[in-house]
Amino acid sequence: MTTIAIVGTGLMGTSLALAIKSSNLKVDIVGTDYDSVARSGAQKSGAFKKVESRLSNAIRGADVVVFATPIQAMREMMESAANDFEEGCVVTDVGSSKKVVLQWAEEVLPKHVSFVGGHPMAGKELSGPKNADGTMFKGKAYCIVPSVNAERAAVSSVTTIAEAIGAKPFFIGVDEHDSFVAAVSHLPFMMSVALMGTASKSANWDDIAQLASSGFSDLSRLASGDPVMHRDICVTNPEPIVAWMDSYIRELYELRNMLAKEGGPDPDALHEVFEEAMNARARWKAGILTKIDRVTSDIPSFAESMGEVFMGRRGMEAQKKFFGRLKDDPANKAKKK
């Protein structure tokens, strides 16, 4: 039986375990966490065959190891587990920053394992295993960023996991990932924090709060997110976040200048801006994109070598080492069509 070890049994780790358990993969799932409360919650979730208190006990014998810890803890976890990985083990993660994690993997992990960076574009503002949700990944992009030395079979295995939990594998380069995710994930959090700070620091906040309704709640929701997770994101991916914040400030300042225009705002100009934003969001929600949809692209654009990796997963031989006994394998179905 294939064994998947998940290091970190908080919201993401336990949600991933629940999703894998309810998938068509025949695997044993082992969890571990330094936090006894998280371990207890993970055990109660029923997602894991067992939850170990020691990292080494979870890693030894595992075919796939997933790091689902806060990003800043990953290097230390990799170092601690360096002597416990099995030969040919696939190592991956679910962190929101990829450049630093791939650097740590290159520096710390033993050469007999393959590291494939991963990042499911899913989550909640809530934290902890008690808030885990195995359906959280369905229909969401799952970024896959292999290290330069990753074996084809390793990329194939991570892709299989992503597909099995209902996500859409999305091959992307590390720099692209960190920039694009900063725009659509990290920037919204910073905006939410700034909005909450702007309103709550007012001397009249007690009265203002009574008027705040769904609009304010929607826009400030992300400020309720795990402070540790977002701290680590900002520490490990500051440059792209700053670049997008600068762009957002410019956009906001243009709106500010429209309102502060001498003689009053131009109604037609404001209407045009609001209509453009409304239409852009409508196109996004409808899935009408102007770029090539690389979620289903056969040849990811960021490296020619990824073409070979992707074609490798079409043939199931590489995956049999880890997932030889899949039920209703989606790749096998695709081959029959």
Mean pLDDT is lowest, of 47-61, 110-124, 306-320, for 306-320
Per-residue model confidence as pLDDT tens digits over 191-220: 999 999 999 999 999 999 999 999 999 999
The tally of CA atoms less than 13 A away on the side-chain side of residue 266 is 9
Residues 6+ apart with CB under 8 A from 219: 191, 192, 195
The model's pTM is 0.83
Pair (209, 139) in one structural domain: no
Q: How far apart are CA 8 and CA 5, in angstroms?
A: 10
With CA atoms as reference, report the closest residue to 81 among 59, 96, 102, 114. Answer: 59
Instruction: State residue 291's pLDDT score.
Output: 54
Does the pLDDT value for residue 301 go beyond 80? no
The mean pLDDT value for 131-155 works out to: 95
Mean pLDDT across the chain, nearest whole number?
88
- Beta-carbon neighbour count of residue 182 at 10 Å? 24
Would you say residue 298 has pLDDT above 50?
A: no
Listed residues 285, 303, 322: the one ending a domain = 285
274 and 301 belong to one structural domain: no
Same domain, 243 and 99: no
- Residue 164: CATH number of its domain: 3.40.50.720
Same domain for 54 and 168, yes or no, is yes
Instruction: For residue range 251-274, list pLDDT tens digits in order.
Output: 999 999 999 999 999 999 999 999
Q: By C-alpha distance, which of 228, 117, 106 is closest to 175?
A: 117
Number of domains in the chain: 2
Name the residue range of residue 93's domain: 2-172+294-336
- 244 with 327, same domain? no
Judge if 168 and 183 occupy the same domain: no
Same domain, yes or no: 153 and 15: yes
166 and 58 together in one domain: yes
Residues 83 and 228 in one domain: no
Q: Are residues 330 and 216 in the same domain?
A: no
Is the per-residue pLDDT at 313 higher than 80? no
Same domain, 162 and 184: no
Q: Residue with structure tokens 């709060």?
A: 209
Residue 115 shares a structural domain with residue 77: yes
